[in-house]
Amino acid sequence: MSDVSQSEDRVADLHFQLSSADRRMLLSELRAGPLRINEAAKRLGMTSTEVLRQIQRLSEARLLVKEADGRYGLTLYAMLILDTTLTPDFVSRNREYFLSHDASLLPTEFRSRLGELSGGKLPNSELDSLNKVMEIFRSAKTTIDVMVDRGLDLGGQIMKERLMEGVKVRWLLHPDRLSELAPDLRSAPRLPEIRSSAKLCGAVVQTDKEAAVTLRFHDGTMSTIGFFGSDASFMKWASDLFTYEWNRAKIWHP
């Protein structure tokens, strides 16, 4: 089966799961916290057998997970599906990504607008993702905006080269990373605009031609794989998120 067919089947299955009033009520109850089967049955006025049947269906759809103490709770993917005000198709097509990445850290506006990233593509590996970011830096004509809480290594060097070529660079990063870079930045012949924030909700790389967006894993660490896109909707979402975080960040003065 092709990736497209699997994606379409996944979307259709999600719509089927959410079409059941009983399953929607169960998901709604679990938003407040994990429950055991008998607890959910009591709250919903259903038999334990019926609740178990619905839990099994929702678990197969990766919307529920059984915890170590025997309770059932929502997955990150389920919380996002229930949270977004737009069609869940984009989230469903990228289910594996949203099962491991925490979109709840995004401001509410950006969670509800996730569908604007629908034109984006996920790379196959971390190496592909890194190579794509390098390509984005090299192809920039006028601007490079970067929001990240970790070192860019080769990417940072390319950004410095593009800065010397006249490309406008804005760099938003974690304060710890800034302290590491400060000596090099003070001696640089040209400086990017730099701000820092200790609570970045994700990572963004954007130029005048293309953008990349990634989220944090459930443990809080930043992922190295995200979505790449160049259509107007994708670019606006990435630009708006960068601007949102940039305006809240602390200005760095060399």
The whole-chain average pLDDT of the chain stands at: 87
pLDDT at 180 over 80: no
The answer to whether the predicted template modeling score (pTM) of the entire model surpasses 0.75 is yes
HSE at residue 148, side-chain half, CA atoms within 13 A, is: 23
How many Å separate Cα 238 from the centre of its chain? 11
Measure the CA–CA gap between 149 and 201, rounded to whole angstroms.
10
Query: Kind of pairing, strands 168-173 and 227-229?
Result: unpaired
Stretch among 66-70, 82-86, 181-185, 236-240 having the lowest mean pLDDT: 181-185
pLDDT at 18: 84
- pLDDT surpassing 80 at residue 78: yes
Phi and psi angles of residue 66, each rounded to the nearest 5 degrees, phi first: -85, 125
- Identify which has the larger pLDDT, 178 or 81: 81
Q: Give tens-digit pLDDT for 27-46.
A: 999 998 999 999 999 999 99
So where are the chain's domains? Answer: 3-74, 126-251
Work out the pLDDT band at 103, boundaries 50, 70, 90: very high
φ, ψ for residue 190, nearest 5 deg? -135, 145
* Position 158 confidence tier, pLDDT thresholds 50, 70, 90: confident
Residue 162 half-sphere exposure toward CB, CA atoms < 13 A: 24
Binned at pLDDT 50, 70 and 90, residue 139 comes out as: very high
Q: What is the pLDDT of residue 80?
A: 87
pLDDT for the residue 19: 84
Q: Taking residues 105-120, report their average pLDDT.
A: 90
The CATH number of the structural domain formed by 126-251 is 3.30.870.10
Beta bridge partners, 203, equal 214
Of the given ranges (7-16, 131-140, 162-171), which has the lowest mean pLDDT? 7-16
Alpha helices per DSSP H over the chain: 3-18, 21-30, 37-44, 48-60, 76-83, 89-93, 95-100, 108-112, 126-139, 154-164, 175-186, 232-248
Q: Write down the pLDDT at residue 177.
A: 80
- Cβ-Cβ contacts under 8 Å for 90 (sequence gap 6 or more): 114, 115, 117, 118
Cβ(158)–Cβ(212) below 8 Å: no
Share of the chain above pLDDT 70, in %: 89
**Which CATH code of 1.10.10.10, 3.40.50.300, 3.50.50.60, 2.160.20.10 fits the domain covering 3-74?**
1.10.10.10
